[in-house]
Structure 1
Amino acid sequence: MEIYTPKQIANTLNVSTTTLRRYEEQDLIPVVPRTKSNHRFYTLIHFQAFTTIRTLLKGYDIPIVYKVMGMIKNARIEEALWLVNEQQFHTQVEKQRVEEILTMIKNADFTKYKNVKLKECMSIGEAAKIAGVNTSAIRHWECEGLVHSERNKENGYRIFSISELRKILVISSLRKTVYYIENMKDLLNDLDTPHYGKIERSFQLALENLNNQLLLQFTGITELIKYIHFYHEINT
């Protein structure tokens, strides 16, 4: 049986031994055996578990990775795989969304989205639903000066025009690739001109990032399947 010290695995994966212990404390890996002198040592399945965690983290959010690894440790293999599958579906939906908004911008058609005719004025709830974001996100963007609302004279609630909605759609699609507020403001200003070159390039970058994320997700899945095979071999 091959065994590894924490330092050997930490060096191989370019992490600290503290990180390895944190994964152990989070109950993400199989039970770790000890030497007679009470020192940790790892076997091949632990090495694969750590490798799987580090690889999955490149393509998935931390809570998802932790949940998947916890499910596997508790023999909930199918649930773990369905959860991973669900996350890939979300990536697919996000890609379709970015492509749809990019097409809308290229066609300069902002009267409908997802085949739904847009109203001239929308509440913050309606705008959030169309854009697929939380109302709190829109309020934050308004505080940052990225979007602007008027107030309904009857009840004082925020109302957004189609022009502001398209800004919300652009922000929601590019927020992971345009990191600085001033850069985002420059892009949104281009929406008021007939020249959309910068915005189109930003959307293309967003698509490239999604393509890269998909590749990283599949790389993580490859390691996950290896780990599941290890798990089955030990528990059968």
Structure 2
Amino acid sequence: METYTPNQISGILQVSTTTLRRYEEQDLIPPVPRTPSNHRVYRPVHLQAFTAIRALLLGYDIPVVYEAMRMIKQDKLEGALWLINEQQYQLQVEKQRVEEILTMIRNADFTRYKNVQLKEHMNIGEAARIAGVNTSAIRHWESEGLIGSERNEENGFRMFSTAELRKILVISSLRKTVYYIDNMRNLLHNLDNQNNEKIEGSFQVALENLNKKLTLQFKGIAEVMKYLDWYSKGK
């Protein structure tokens, strides 16, 4: 059977041998045999495991990739695939969300979102539920000056107007695409001034990025399926 040294695997995948050892230490790959002089001997199944990890990391979160690879090693193959599928579903939900809010902007209609009638003023919990984010995220955006709130005179709670909720929805949809606070601030300025062309451009970039991520996710799945084939043969 063909074998590989750490340096050979490193050269094939263009990663450091330190990274390969870290994956092994994290229990992501099958047991690695050693020579009498205690040198690692990688086999094709290890090469494919490393290849699958690198491919998955391009489209999935690190904790998901690591847990899925550990589950495969524990023979929980279906569980690993469902875990990967769950993050694919989350990507689909994110795409639907971006498209829905883009439609709201185009129609200049922020009276309803996901069949929920938006009130003129909402507290932070209501705003967070509608936007699908944690209340801590909204507080952070307010501290950065991206949004503003009023205070309920009776209880002192934050209250967000429809205009501010519109900003919250835009931020929550584009936060993974618009990386810098100043860029987001400029984008919200365009929103206030109804400069929809620039707003739509940002949403189109977000959709393009989601499409690219989807492609990377499927490429990662393809490598995982190859790994599962090697893994089953080696058992």
TM-score greater than 0.5 by the shorter chain: yes
Q: 1:27 aligns to what SS in structure 2?
A: coil
AA of the residue aligned to 1:163: A
Offset of residue 195 of structure 1: 2.2
Give SS of 2:19's match: helix
Farther off after superposition, 38-47 or 190-199: 190-199
Listed as ranges, the gaps of 5+ residues in structure 1 are none
**Aligned partners of 2:57, 2:159: CA distance in 1, in Å?**
39
- CA distance in 2 between counterparts of 1:119 and 1:24 reads 53
Amino acid at match of 1:54: R
**What does residue 88 of structure 2 align with?**
88
Alignment-mate amino acid for residue 48 of structure 2:
Q
**Secondary structure of 2:122's aligned partner:** strand
Letter in 2 for 1:119: K
- Per the alignment, residue 187 of structure 2 pairs with 187
- Taking the TM superposition and a 5 Å limit, the aligned residue runs for 1:164-179 are 164-179=164-179
The aligned residue for residue 18 of structure 2 is: 18
Cα distance in 2 for residues equivalent to 1:192 and 1:149: 15
**How many percent of aligned residue pairs carry the same amino acid?**
71
Per-residue CA distance 1:11-60 (angstroms, 9 max, x = gap): 11111100000000000000010001011110000000000000000000
For 2:194 and 2:58, the matched residues in 1 are separated by 38
Match of 1:227?
227
**In 2: Cα distance, 1:224 partner to 1:194 partner:** 46
- 1:58-97 → structure 2 map (5 Å cutoff): 58-97=58-97
CA RMSD of aligned residues (A): 0.7
Q: Amino acid of the residue matched to residue 225 of structure 1? A: M
Could you list the runs of 5+ residues in structure 2 that have no partner in the other structure?
none
- In 2, the alpha carbon distance for the partners of 1:40 and 1:233 equals 21
Q: CA deviation at 1:194?
A: 3.0
Give the 3-state SS of the residue equivalent to 2:160 in structure 1.
Answer: strand
2:135 counterpart of 1:135? yes
TM-fit CA distance, 1:177: 1.0
**How far off is 1:180 after superposition?**
1.2
What corresponds to 1:35 in structure 2? 35
5 Å-filtered alignment, 1:39-50, equals: 39-50=39-50
Per-residue CA deviation, residues 127-179 of structure 1 (Å, 9 max, x unaligned), is 00000000000011001100101111111111111110110000011111111
State the alpha-carbon separation in 2 of the partners of residues 203 and 142 from structure 1. 22
- Please give the per-residue CA displacement for 1:76-99, whole angstroms capped at 9, x wherever unaligned: 000001111111111111100000
The letter of the residue matching 2:99 is E
* Moved segments of 4+, more than 4 Å: none
SS at match of 2:159: strand
